[in-house]
C-alpha cells in the first residue's frame, strides 16, 4: 500500500513540474505566484510531498485544478495496473 501512495505522490509532483515547465515558469516564479514557500514547491515537485492546500495554490496558477491533476494521476495508475497483470 505504501508503494501505491508513493507512486501517486510522485506522479502529482511530476505532473506539477511538467505543467510549470510548459508555462516556462521557474520554481521561484510559481512559488511566488502561488503564495507558497519555494521549499514547499520543491518538495511537491521532487517527491510529491505537500498538502492539498499547496497543490490547490499551485494548480490554480498552472491553469488547472487539484481534482484534474488527481484524476490524471488516477488514470495513470489504472493504465499502469493494466500492464502489470
How far, in Å, CA of 28 to CA of 54, rounded? 14
Q: Nine-digit cell at 10?
A: 510522485
User: Is pTM beyond 0.85 here?
Assistant: no
CATH architecture of 2-84: Orthogonal Bundle (1.10)
| Residue 13: all three cell numbers together | 509532483
Residue 10 in this model has a pLDDT that exceeds 70:
yes
CA distance 4 to 53: 21
Each residue of 43-69: pLDDT tens digit?
999 988 888 899 999 999 999 999 999
Task: Give me the pLDDT at residue 79, please.
Answer: 80
User: Given pLDDT bands bounded at 50, 70 and 90, which one contains residue 1?
Assistant: very low
Amino acid at each position: 500500500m505504501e508503494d501505491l501512495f508513493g507512486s501517486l505522490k510522485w506522479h502529482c509532483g511530476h505532473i506539477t513540474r511538467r505543467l510549470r515547465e510548459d508555462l516556462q515558469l521557474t520554481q521561484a516564479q510559481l512559488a511566488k505566484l502561488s503564495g507558497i514557500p519555494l521549499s514547499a514547491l520543491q518538495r511537491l515537485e521532487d517527491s510529491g510531498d505537500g498538502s492539498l492546500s499547496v497543490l490547490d495554490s499551485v494548480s490554480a496558477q498552472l491553469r488547472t485544478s487539484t481534482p484534474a491533476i488527481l484524476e490524471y494521476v488516477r488514470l495513470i495508475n489504472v493504465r499502469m495496473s493494466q500492464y502489470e497483470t
